[in-house]
Amino acid sequence: MAGILNIQIKPTIGDKEINLKKVEHFIKKHSDRKLDLVVFPEFFSTGVNHKAFDEMPEDENGGETIAKIQELAKKYNTNIVAGSVIERVGDKSYNTCFVINRCGEIIGKYRKIHLYNYMGGTEGEHVEAGNEIVVLDLDFARVGIALCFDLRYPVQFKQMAKQGAEIFVVPVAWIVPVEIYEDKEAKAFAQDMYVALNRVRAFDNHAYLVSSNQTKDINGKVCAIGNSMIIAPTSQVLANAKDDQTAVYADIDVELVKFYRQMFPVANID
């Protein structure tokens, strides 16, 4: 069995120090448990703030933000998928997820492929799109990384499954206009749709899926819908953070992925 801790926060816009303290608080709070993997949301250190993206990027090694996460990985003896930061490489920027092992080493990074440029989204005006599917070997499982809007692209998840991913880790900043968030029925529909999308990606590929979202008001105009989850290969939701600033935990059995894929070889069905 492996222990997964999924952290959901409302980042303070542009305040990396406060946001790093928030994620460490939840790791420390659960440090008496078996921590094989800890996951943070997309833009966990800055919040969704294009000004911060342009003015507070990290270098290609993740800067001070990822250096701090490397310290936490060693301190709490856990692998960490560090949501995402804006990575500046020369004159280009990327929305990048860093993966750190228990020794505090960066073992890989994923640059978001599918940028959100729809319905008013302008992500592509601030960052370049990545072009590489990323699946990494941690010490307990093979993990595929995606970010937020990638969830809308089932072929990316199929490709990760073909590369042996047993767990999909998907940091997100899944947001809706404040008008929808404040309408009880509309908010419930948006959350149900998001939950369903995650469950389908897990079930389609008989993989565990960990989606880590932000929650609550972002900037008075949009809100994050929470529902950070740990989902089984059967699509069963093992843990859901709902709307709270919290962390949810689940023990998972990676051998179940092999069991279900023997019965239903989904990675080989095109």
The overall average pLDDT reported for the chain is 94
Residues 6+ apart with CB under 8 A from 162: 267, 268
- Pairing outcome for strands 142-145 and 208-212: unpaired
Task: Specify the pairing of strand 2-8 against strand 246-252.
Answer: antiparallel
Query: Which structural domain range is residue 258 located in?
Result: 2-268
In the chain, % of residues over pLDDT 70: 98
Confidence of residue 268 (pLDDT cuts 50, 70, 90): confident
Q: What is the pLDDT of residue 55?
A: 75
Give the other-Cβ count within 10 Å of 216's Cβ.
16
Residue 139, amino acid: D
pLDDT surpasses 90 at 240 = yes
Nearest to 269 by CA among 261, 133, 150: 261
Q: Return the pLDDT at 30.
A: 98
Query: For residue 32, what pLDDT is reported?
Result: 96
- This prediction has a pTM of 0.96
Angle at 111 (CA atoms; ends 239, 27), nearest 5 degrees: 35
Instruction: Copy the structure tokens of residue 45.
Output: 């250190």
pLDDT, residue 119, reads 67
Q: Which amino acid, one-letter code, is at 189?
A: F
Token pair for 47: 């919040």
**pLDDT band at 261; cut points 50, 70, 90:** very high
Task: Please tell me the total count of domains within the chain.
Answer: 1
- Give the CATH number of the domain where residue 139 resides: 3.60.110.10
Please give the backbone phi and psi of residue 119, each rounded to the nearest 5 degrees, phi first: 50, 45
